[in-house]
Structure 1
């Protein structure tokens, strides 16, 4: 019996980490990605070297695959809709992605299905009588890892930003003085089976995730509400796949959805080591219609730390990686990127928590102290 053939649009580290489950699930991964040194190329059964928004390349991918899924959402939606109308099987369906790719449209959709979100508007409709500084302004498309997100403290900063953005479509939202930031991975398969992973706490600096603590130290009420929001969203959208949901938690325990990632997500990387079924295996299970299985932790908890570039170089940081790997119950995942740039995700580290003697924040800071030492 031949393996199922799954096409992936995108060849970065998220696609690369799917390889951990392909043999177990009898899946061949075929990748569409622009560069021969992209992280997923080394693990792919077959590669089509082409930009991820090249629909002609996606047509070639479809001819070789049973189903196509996504590593990221920077796609040519209109062109892919033509392929879908011709019978190409995308999971999630394009109708599930369509309301999410533009951040303003995403917020509007979430509000329409009664999911709580911060107050928002378009830049064109902004009235400073309705919003107070500070404001958050986001590029409506293609922003990630803090790119395209601006915290604006006063009118002078707003005017300065408007001079720089060159008619890029922007969304404006309330700045939420949150107690903490949370995230949750949720998966759904063709039969409508839904599973959620533990709610985690994310620690951000300048809108970039530096570390994740699983599980989050929050009330059962907040956990339950987060799960209900996630299940409601994927049911309304008829999702087949896995989504990441980012939340703000306010001081009065109100949950607000910040953003939706319609794919595997950085906040779920801990699942590779801390859960029996990782988020990457879960995505493949969902899109190939396997039973989803357990999302439980296999330990008391985990801390995931991103290894972010802090210089421009071509260097593999082997010595630092080894020092981190020598810590107890610690796993280093290196993305084999050939170039380091400031803020670029080069890898991540998971430390399993076997007892509660050391605070998770202390663990994260110890890993960062090794990584950023002598930078």
Structure 2
């Protein structure tokens, strides 16, 4: 039976929820003011006009649907508790109540063994209390409102004792808590989805904040090792599993300088950091939320990226009413950039008016497309362009050799990979002289994001075979011609691996083919590399055809004379 969904709130998240609901035929009713963004794209009589905090309006919505959900957590949980049992509420009202109070949220997570920043409750804070916090935690520390805080509103960084009076002036009327400053090197986010069958997660996203508002997301997180991304996804799933109810949860976290992870905050709903999923994933976070709360099938494989890279840029209101439209007009010049306008009537400075998304075959390609828009957004604010500093691309090919004497043999491989723009890392590690180092490097290669290994070795040439035995990554072996036996010994050693331990083996000293084979492996998931390969072979085709035409014109004798033979 198809379930009807009622949504408390009809802002941009509700609007983006309506789109997949219409597509997959899930009836959806919105409770919000007339003309709310979600109602603008869904015209039917089932919507309710009113406040999503008003008890009577919520009860009226409950009579029209099978499941109640929400696009904002600042809602009336008391009436939801009263409705429990008469209509499904997803996620559960008790989950919303815990998460509404950010200090209670942290206590809940900590009690379930989930790592969070150390915090201290300050319901009626005084200057003396905050000075005591400064003595306890040191400066800076964060002063935060327990409730009704979002997009940096309700937060105050106390950098020294001199900030305390102003901090209390800004937040003193609210219930507060202090949080120990997290020395993070990056902010990450994971969209986790709790279904009737368990908890699954989207890929780890890097989030860039400006003025405490999310500005950009990069997926997958740039320069973050695969094992860290996997730990972030596992942490998000662990945290979300502690709450009752189904649906999408936005999990924000800090990656600290020692590579440990702390959860910052959780939102029990689709989240800004997951907007990239609309174009970037097979199933968007909004469709995933609807599927989860109505028990329509959804699995981990449905949450994967469609392309290797996705970037999302928020578009905020500026100093003029049409500032966001100016950004959209610029974005229209690049067809691959997708524009999402939220349908808000008034463009106030700092208000989220929409977002832009781009997907590409590589992060560098996606950055090249979005960076002019980032510069335009910065220019509207009168700021110097803040295009994030380019992060060195993740090496995809590991090239290892038993001795630096093999480097000349590998020079053609370097040239091929450089010409294709394929990042690689080259190391010396001997299967015989440094077995511990070889073991450490190869066993850690997959976690570091490598997708294939090229291993060059001469003589007994055990390096490629040992590498293949230590990883499931594809290994391409290059037999190196040593001083005796002309490299045939190395060829036999590499190619004659026992069953179950394959090594793709190229000709003796033929690092060109090793690089091309590695490129072919990468091209299965990277369209850009596939284009490079097609261009490479196209040039070779033209070269051969030109030689054939010349041979036909000159004849073999004159052709040989021109060759100097």
CA root-mean-square deviation = 1.9
- Matches of 1:53 and 1:198 in 2, distance apart? 33
Structure having greater relative contact order (Cα 8 Å, sep ≥ 6) = 1
- Matches of 1:302 and 1:206 in 2, distance apart? 23
Confirm whether residue 151 of structure 1 aligns to residue 149 of structure 2: no
Uncovered stretches (5+) of structure 1, i.e. residues with no partner:
none
Confirm whether residue 171 of structure 1 aligns to residue 215 of structure 2: no
Q: Deviations over 1:70-89 (max 9, x none)?
A: 101011112221111x5221
Do 1:71 and 1:264's aligned partners in 2 also have CA atoms closer than 8 Å?
yes
Please state how far the C-alpha of 1:243 moved relative to its aligned partner. Answer: 0.1
Do 2:288 and 2:298's aligned partners in 1 also have CA atoms closer than 8 Å?
yes
Name the structure 2 match of 1:184: 190
Higher helix share: 2
- Matches of 1:357 and 1:136 in 2, distance apart? 35
Do 1:312 and 1:339's aligned partners in 2 also have CA atoms closer than 8 Å?
no
Instruction: Give the ranges of 4+ consecutive aligned residues of structure 1 lying more than 6 Å apart after TM superposition.
Output: none
Uncovered stretches (5+) of structure 2, i.e. residues with no partner:
382-565
Please state how far the C-alpha of 1:166 moved relative to its aligned partner. Answer: 4.3
Which residue of 291, 305, 313 corresponds with 1:297? Answer: 305
Name the structure 1 match of 2:37: 39
Q: Which deviates the most, 191-200 or 68-77?
A: 191-200
Name the structure 2 match of 1:340: 347
The 5-angstrom pairing of residues 32-111 of structure 1 reads 32-33=31-32, 35-44=33-42, 45=44, 46-84=46-84, 86-111=85-110
Do 1:308 and 1:346's aligned partners in 2 also have CA atoms closer than 8 Å?
yes
Confirm whether residue 215 of structure 1 aligns to residue 220 of structure 2: yes
TM-score, normalization: structure 1? 0.93
- Matches of 2:334 and 2:20 in 1, distance apart? 26
Please state how far the C-alpha of 1:357 moved relative to its aligned partner. Answer: 4.2
Do 2:315 and 2:324's aligned partners in 1 also have CA atoms closer than 8 Å?
no
Do 2:71 and 2:269's aligned partners in 1 also have CA atoms closer than 8 Å?
yes
Answer with 1 or 2: which has the greater Rg. Answer: 2
Please state how far the C-alpha of 1:364 moved relative to its aligned partner. Answer: 4.3
Please state how far the C-alpha of 1:225 moved relative to its aligned partner. Answer: 1.6
Q: Deviations over 1:238-258 (max 9, x none)?
A: 330110000100111010000
Q: Which deviates the most, 197-206 or 228-237?
A: 228-237
Name the structure 2 match of 1:194: 199
TM-score, normalization: structure 2? 0.63
- Matches of 1:31 and 1:334 in 2, distance apart? 19
In structure 2, relative to structure 1, the CA distance for the partners of 1:37 and 1:369 (3 Å cut) is farther
Do 1:4 and 1:26's aligned partners in 2 also have CA atoms closer than 8 Å?
no
Question: For this pair of structures, how many residues does the alignment match?
Answer: 369
Do 2:252 and 2:264's aligned partners in 1 also have CA atoms closer than 8 Å?
yes
Name the structure 2 match of 1:28: 27
In structure 2, relative to structure 1, the CA distance for the partners of 1:312 and 1:49 (3 Å cut) is farther
- Matches of 1:206 and 1:373 in 2, distance apart? 16
In structure 2, relative to structure 1, the CA distance for the partners of 1:198 and 1:83 (3 Å cut) is same
Higher strand share: 1
Q: Deviations over 1:211-252 (max 9, x none)?
A: 000011312221222122222222221330110000100111
In structure 2, relative to structure 1, the CA distance for the partners of 1:374 and 1:200 (3 Å cut) is closer
Do 1:324 and 1:370's aligned partners in 2 also have CA atoms closer than 8 Å?
no
- Matches of 1:83 and 1:19 in 2, distance apart? 24
- Matches of 2:282 and 2:170 in 1, distance apart? 47
Name the structure 1 match of 2:281: 275
Q: Secondary structure at the match of 1:367?
A: helix
In structure 2, relative to structure 1, the CA distance for the partners of 1:31 and 1:140 (3 Å cut) is same
- Matches of 2:67 and 2:346 in 1, distance apart? 32
Do 1:180 and 1:248's aligned partners in 2 also have CA atoms closer than 8 Å?
yes
